[in-house]
Structure 1
Amino acid sequence: MAATRNRTPPDPAAEEAVAAVLATAGVAPGETVCVALSGGVDSTVLLHILVRLRERGGFTLAAAHVHHGLSPNADAWLEACRACCDALGVDFHAFRVHVRRDDPAGPEAAARAARHAALAGVPCAWLAFGHHQDDQAETLMFRLLRGAGVRGAGAMAAVEPGAPGAPGRLRPLLGLRRAQIVAWARAHGLAWVEDESNSDQRYTRNLLRHRVMPVLEEAFPGAVAVLARASAQFREADALLGDLARLDEAACGDATLERAKLLLLSDERVRNLLRWRIRAMGLEAPARARLVEAVRQLREAPEQALRLPLGAAVCCAYRGRLWLEPEGAVAVPGATVWHGEAELPWGAGTVVLATAVGAGLSRAALERAQEVVLGPRWAGLALREGVGRPRRSFKNLCQEAGIPSWLRDGLPVLKVDGAAAWIGEVGVAAEFRCAPGEPGVVPVWRR
C-alpha cells in the first residue's frame, strides 16, 4: 500500500479534465457512474475526483473491483478498495473470477476478458476507467506491433456510448499524463495499492512501459502526447471509413447486396464494406489476407455461387446477391402453419404470399386444404414441375436449378396436406399451379 502526505497544492487540471469528459458524454443527473476500481493510483484518483464532482453533476457513484486471484495480495487489494469506498460513501461491488494461467491468449488477455465480463454485470449507465495518456501511447505501440489496422490503431476513446442495454464507457483521465495523476494523489494524501506484476517485463505491455517508451521519450520529447494525438486521428479515419461503408451499403442494396453493383467498387471499398458489416454483426473482423482472397474470388467468378469463410463470418454469393452470416450459426427454421397471412417468417427473412391472377399457386387449392405449412425440406421430398413430367427428387431439382449444397437446407418449402406445393428458388408443383384467369398466390422468398 502506497501512501503520501499532502505537501503541495492540488493541480485543478485533473478535475477539470474529468468534468469535461462527463459533459461530453452527457452524463445525466440520476445516472450511475461505476468506477472500475483496481486500487491502483489511476482508478483511485478517478474515484476521488468523481466524488468531488458528483454533487455538482447529480449522478450516482459506484465502484467495482474484480478479484482475479493471480496475486497473493489480491485479498488485501479487495479489502483496501472496500474500505476506500466505505470512507467515501460509494456503493461497492466485488467480483471474484477464475483466470487460467495457461490460457492460450496469455494470462494478461485472459484476466482482461474476465474483468470486462464481470464489469458488464454492474447495473449502471457508465463504466469509468482510469486509463491515461501514457496508457494510450502504449496501447497504440502494442497494437501497431501486432499489425493493427486503422480501427485498432485508434486505441481508446474517452467516451464510448454503450450498445442498447449495455453501459457506455468513460476514460476521463485519457488526456492526462501518469505523472499528473500521481501528483494529484500525493497532493491529496491518497493511499493506493501497487501491483507487483506491473514491473514484470515478461509481459509485453510492461516491456513497452519500462524499456521502450523511456527510450522513445528521451529521443523524441513529447512522444507520448504525439502518439496519443495519432490515435485520435486514427479514430477519426475509422469513423470516416464507417460512413463510406454505410454509403456503399445503401448503393449496393442494403440487407443483401447486389453483387454486380458491389463489384463496381474498388477492392479497398469492397473489403471496407465487408469488414464493417462483420463488425456490425458483433463479430471480429477477419485478417486482411482473407478479405483480399474473398474479393479476388468474387471478381474471378462473378456469376458463380460462392461460400467464402471470413473467420467468424461467411460471405455467401448466389444469383446476383451477396450476404454475410455467422460461421456455423445457420439454423434450419421451424415450421409455421399458414392461415391466410400475406407473409410468413423464414429465418432472417420472410416468405411473401402475394395475390395474383393466373400465376403461382391456386388459391382455391390452398383454401380447400386441411393444412398448409411453411417449413424445411424433409426426407423423400419430391416435386413435379410440369403436367405429365415425372416427379423429381429435391436433390435433382436443386442441381438443375444451380442451388449450391450449402443453401439447400435453408430453402423454404410450402407443404399442402403433406405434399410439396412450392420450393423456394425451385418453383411451383404442377398439381397446385394456378390456371389462366384463376385467383392465385405467388410465394416470394425475401432473405
Structure 2
Amino acid sequence: MSTYIIRRASVLGEQVADLLLEDGRITAVGTDLDAPEGATEVDAEGLVALPGLVDLHTHLREPGREDAETVRTGTRAAARGGFTCVHAMANTEPVADTAGVVEQVWRLGREHGYCDVQPVGAVTIGLAGERLAELGAMADSAARVRVFSDDGKCVWDPVLMRRALEYVKAFDGVVAQHAQEPRLTVDAQMNEGPLSGELGLAGWPAVAEEAIVARDVLLAEHVGSRLHVCHLSTRGSVELVRWAKSRGIDVTAEVTPHHLLLTDDLVRSYDPIYKVNPPLRSADDVAAVREGLADGTIDIVATDHAPHPMEDKDCEWGAAAFGMIGLETALSIVQQTMVDTGALTWARVAEVMSANPARIGRVSEHGRPLAAGEPAHVVLYDPAARRVVEPRDTASLSRNTPYAGRELPGRVVATFLHGRPTVLGGTLVEEAHA
C-alpha cells in the first residue's frame, strides 16, 4: 500500500502536526516527521484534520432505484463530503429486510464503494409495519447489521416496536425510529403553523413527531434497550430526549444539516426542493436543535441524503417526492451553523460527525482518534474556503440540493480511506474504491 505523510495539519483545529499513514494505519503523529522513502507528501498547512466522517443515515437507493443513486455514485459523493463510512438505509427495492439483500448492499460497497458501506436492516418485512423482519439473520450475516430502521415510515404499532427493541438486545443492536405518527400526518405537506394555513398546504404538526419520541423512549426504558431517534426536528422532541437522558434511558438522537439551517419560510416559494420528511420547521425549532446539538442532547449530525431523479422533484409541490441530498455539503453546513457561531469546536465536530455515529452504528474501525496505531481514516478540510453550490457539480446521480446558488463556507481538500486517498486536492481519485 502507498505511504502518505500529511504535513502541518491542524489536528482537530488544535495543535499543528504531521501524520504518517502507512499500510492503512496512522503510524506516527508529531512535528517534522521523517518521510519514509517513496512517501507522498501532502501539504495541509491551514487545513483542519478530522477523523473520517461517519453518516448513520444515507439513502443509496441500490438495489432497485439506480435512476436516483447507486452505491458507487453515492459513496463518491460521500467521499467528497469527507465521509469514510455510511450506513445505507433499508428502503431499497427490494427492501433490505433479509440477510441476502443486506449482504448484496455490503458486497456492492466492498466492490464499488469510495467509502465503507454498512447496511441498515429493515425492522419490518417490506417496511409494512406488520411483521418483524429477519433481524437475527441480518445481524449474523456477513454484513453484521446492528442498526435497524423502517426509515421513510414509522414503526407505529407499539407492540411491534416493543418486540423489535427486545429482539435487538440479543446482539447489541439499535432500532432507529422514524418518528411520525401516521394518523396525524395524513396528506401533510409542510410544518403546521400560521404559514401552512396561509399557503393552503396541509400541516404537519410537531406533535406527530413528539408523540412517537415520547412513546418510544418509555418503551426503551421498559425493555432496557437502545433507541435511536432519526432526524429529530422540533423543540419538543429535543426536550423529550433531554428528559429521557436525565432518567438514564439509552436513547440517542440525530439532526440533519438542513434542519440546522433551513426554516419553513422557504416553502413560500412552493419550490419542491424544500419538501422533506420531516418538514422544515420554524426558526424556534431550528434554534432548539442547534442548542440540543451544542449541549449533547442530540448526539450526531446525520445527512438523510435522499436522492431523487429530476422528474420526482421537478413538478408541482403536492406530487413531489420528499427528500434532499446532503453528503457533499454537510460539513459546510455544520461549520456555518455550529462552528462559525461558536457553538461547537472542531473537536466536538469530530465527535458528532465521526466518533458518536461510529459508536451508535457499531463500526469499530471508524470514528477513532487521529493517533498512532489507529486506522487511517482522515479528512483534510479548509474552513477558510468559500464556494457556491452548483447542482451539476455533485458526484451524486441526483441534483435535489436545497443549497443551489448558496455560498457556503469550507471545502474538503482530501479524504483518506484505509490510508488511501479517495479525494485529493478536492478532486475524486478515480481509481479509488473501498
- Structure possessing the higher radius of gyration over alpha carbons: 1
* TM-score (normalizing by structure 2): 0.26
**Greater helix share, 1 or 2?**
1
Higher relative contact order (CA 8 A, sep 6+): 2
* TM-score (normalizing by structure 1): 0.26
